[in-house]
Amino acid sequence: MVPDDVPFIKDSWLKSFRDSPWAGCVSNNMYTEVYNDTVEQLWGRGAEVWVACAAYDHAKILGWICVEAVPGGRATHYLYIKDPYRRKGLASSLLEKFGGRFYTFRTRSAQYFKLQHAPEIARRK
Q: Tell me the H-state helices in the chain.
A: 6-18, 28-44, 90-98, 120-123
Q: What is the pLDDT of residue 82?
A: 96
Q: Domain total for the chain? A: 1
End-to-end alpha-carbon separation of the chain, Å? 23
Cα 84 from Cα 87, distance rounded (Å): 9
Number of Cβ within a 10 Å radius of residue 69: 12
pLDDT tens digit string along 84-94? 999 999 999 99
pLDDT tens digit string along 33-90? 999 999 999 999 999 999 999 888 888 899 999 999 998 899 999 999 999 999 999 9
The domain in which residue 63 lies consists of 3-123
Q: Collect all residues with Cβ–Cβ distance below 8 Å to 118 and sequence separation of at least 6.
A: 75, 102, 103, 104
pLDDT band at 1 (very low <50, low <70, confident <90, very high): confident
For residue 118, what is the domain's CATH number?
A: 3.40.630.30
Go through the chain and tell me how many residues it has. Answer: 125
Q: What is the pLDDT of residue 90?
A: 95
